[in-house]
């Protein structure tokens, strides 16, 4: 699993990368506030959620070291997201066709 | 991984685990727990989606009562706190317990700042009668859709704030271990696992902020 060049159990990431990720996260936060002043209609939520997901991915991949994890951990990380997609996806199939 | 056929030592036991396996198992356990956290908040996000569908115009109007500047500031505060939590892990990986203490102290400080800003927001809502139990809230003119929006707002941000408090306690415990020089590049599991929890709290806020404050 790990190469034997070092004896740390986990993966050591260069410090600079954390700084780069933080800068990217802050830029994306400003971006999401900035685009919120424009009206894209129904796409407003989509744009906001796409930016939020890019930010979440950056945090997971680099701050949480998911990028360097084994397939089992990836499975643990992705499985609840599949369940959540199923739940919210079904809601969007159901909701518009309801007659209240 | 350890399937040497000659070994018949019985089922694996904590004391028989080598350090690397124990580290991996602890991390995997935290990821599993984080999965349940995603589903816990996921239920609330689903509820928000349903009611936003039902009261689209009213939700848009109600969310204008939230101050995006305070929400945005809190987003930045949590992102910075996550950065320092990640740097604390990096410090532990370099045998630097002092730096672990310093970075975790900044992380916890950011968590406290987040809660102070949240308190300012909550008390503002209270004074404007946008808080469950106030006279305005209970008056018949107070719209059902407003109750829905602010009910979800307080449930989601309240549960999130609770997680911030728990995260601060967990990282405070890790900090106390670092003060006793417990960590080294060979053993820093509590730092890594505590930071994982903190990062998830950050990720949840990353979604809460645009959904509640911006999408209007």
Ordered by start, the domain boundaries in chain B are 28-214
Note whether A36 and A47 are same-domain residues.
yes
pLDDT value of residue B18: 86
Note whether A37 and A60 are same-domain residues.
yes
The pLDDT averaged over each successive group of 10 residues in chain B (216 residues) is 50 69 94 97 95 90 93 98 97 96 98 98 93 88 90 97 98 98 95 98 98 86
CB contact under 8 A, A59 and B19: no
Distance of residue B19 Cα from the nearest chain A Cα, in angstroms: 8
Note whether A52 and A89 are same-domain residues.
no
Q: pLDDT category, A41, cuts 50, 70, 90?
A: confident
| Longest distance between any two alpha carbons in chain B, whole Å | 77
CB contact under 8 A, A45 and B215: yes
Give the distance from CA A7 to its chain's centroid. 30
Buried b (16+ CB within 10 A) or exposed e, A12-46: ebeeeebeebbeebbebbeebbeebeeeeeeebbe
CB contact under 8 A, A36 and B39: no
What is the domain count for chain A?
2
In a domain, A5, yes or no: no
pLDDT value of residue B11: 58
CB contact under 8 A, A83 and B46: no
Section A8-31 average pLDDT: 93
Distance of residue A22 Cα from the nearest chain B Cα, in angstroms: 6
Q: Which of A1-5, A10-14, B211-215 has the lowest mean pLDDT?
A: A1-5
Note whether A84 and A60 are same-domain residues.
no
Note whether A81 and A34 are same-domain residues.
no
In a domain, A64, yes or no: yes
Which chain B residue is nearest to residue A34, measuring alpha carbons?
B214
Section A33-55 average pLDDT: 92
CATH homologous superfamily of B28-214 equals Cytochrome c oxidase, subunit III, four-helix bundle (1.20.120.80)
pLDDT value of residue B212: 95
Range of the domain at A76: 69-100
Note whether A57 and A75 are same-domain residues.
no
Question: CA-CA distance, B146 to B62, in Å (whole number)?
Answer: 6
- Count of other CB atoms within 10 angstroms of residue B13: 8
Note whether A50 and A73 are same-domain residues.
no
What is the DSSP code string of chain B?
A: ----TT----S--GGGS-HHHHHHHHHHHHHHHHHHHHHHHHHHHHHHHHHHHHTHHHHHHHHTTS-HHHHHHHHHHHHHHHHHHHHHHHHHHTT-HHHHHHHHHHHHHHHHHHHHHHHHHHHHHHHTT-STTSHHHHSTTS-HHHHHHHHHHHHHHHHHHHHHHHHHHHHHHHHHHHHTT--BTTB-HHHHHHHHHHHHHHHHHHHHHIIIII--
| pLDDT tens-place string over residues B150-193 | 999 999 999 999 999 999 999 999 999 999 999 999 999 999 99
Question: CA-CA distance, B82 to A63, in Å (whole number)?
Answer: 7
In a domain, A84, yes or no: yes
Q: Which long-range contacts (CB under 8 A, 24 or more apart) does B154-162 make?
A: B154/B122, B155/B44, B156/B41, B156/B44, B156/B45, B156/B48, B156/B208, B156/B212, B157/B118, B157/B208, B157/B212, B159/B40, B159/B41, B159/B44, B160/B41, B160/B201, B160/B204, B160/B205, B160/B208, B161/B115, B161/B118
Angle at Cα B70 formed by Cα B80 and Cα B135, nearest 5°? 140
In a domain, A89, yes or no: yes
In a domain, A4, yes or no: no
Question: CA-CA distance, B117 to B74, in Å (whole number)?
Answer: 7
Q: pLDDT category, A2, cuts 50, 70, 90?
A: very low
Note whether A87 and A48 are same-domain residues.
no
Distance of residue B2 Cα from the nearest chain A Cα, in angstroms: 12
In a domain, A3, yes or no: no
In a domain, A27, yes or no: yes
Note whether A80 and A98 are same-domain residues.
yes
pLDDT value of residue B121: 96
Q: What is the DSSP-derived secondary structure letter of residue A10?
A: S
pLDDT value of residue A11: 83
Note whether A77 and A48 are same-domain residues.
no
Whether A56 shows a pLDDT value over 80: the answer reads yes
Give me the interface pTM, i.e. the ipTM: 0.91
pLDDT value of residue A97: 84
- Count of other CB atoms within 10 angstroms of residue A10: 21
- Residues of chain A neighbouring B35 (CB-CB closer than 8 A): 76-77, 79-80
Note whether A27 and A74 are same-domain residues.
no
Note whether A53 and A22 are same-domain residues.
yes
């Amino acid at each position: 699993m790990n190469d034997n060049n070092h004896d740390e159990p986990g993966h050591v990431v260069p410090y600079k990368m954390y700084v780069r990720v933080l800068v990217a996260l802050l830029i994306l936060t400003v971006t999401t506030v900035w685009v919120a002043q424009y009206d894209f209609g129904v796409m407003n939520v989509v744009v906001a959620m796409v930016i939020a997901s890019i930010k979440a991915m950056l945090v997971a991949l680099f701050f949480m070291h998911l990028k360097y994890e084994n397939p089992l951990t990836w499975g643990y990380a992705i499985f609840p997201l599949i369940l959540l997609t199923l739940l919210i996806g079904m809601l969007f199939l159901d909701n518009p066709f309801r007659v209240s | 991984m350890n399937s040497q056929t000659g070994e018949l030592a019985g089922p694996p036991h904590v004391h028989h685990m080598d350090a690397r396996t124990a580290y991996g198992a602890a991390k995997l356990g935290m990821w599993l727990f984080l999965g349940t956290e995603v589903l816990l908040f996921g239920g609330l996000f689903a509820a928000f989606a349903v009611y936003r569908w039902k009261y689209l115009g009213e939700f848009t109007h109600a969310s204008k009562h939230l101050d995006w500047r305070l929400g945005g500031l809190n987003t930045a505060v949590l992102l910075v706190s996550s950065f320092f939590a990640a740097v604390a892990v990096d410090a532990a990986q370099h045998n630097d317990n002092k730096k672990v203490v310093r970075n975790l102290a900044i992380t916890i400080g950011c968590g406290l700042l987040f809660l102070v800003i949240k308190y300012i927001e909550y008390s503002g809502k209270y004074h404007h009668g946008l808080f469950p139990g106030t006279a305005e809230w209970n008056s018949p003119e107070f719209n059902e859709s407003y109750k829905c929006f602010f009910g979800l707002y307080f449930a989601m941000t309240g549960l999130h704030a609770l997680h911030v408090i728990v995260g601060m306690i967990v990282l405070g415990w890790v900090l106390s271990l670092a003060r006793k020089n417990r960590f080294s590049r060979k053993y820093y599991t509590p730092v890594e696992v505590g930071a994982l929890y903190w990062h998830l709290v950050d990720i949840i806020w990353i979604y809460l902020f645009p959904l509640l404050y911006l999408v209007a």
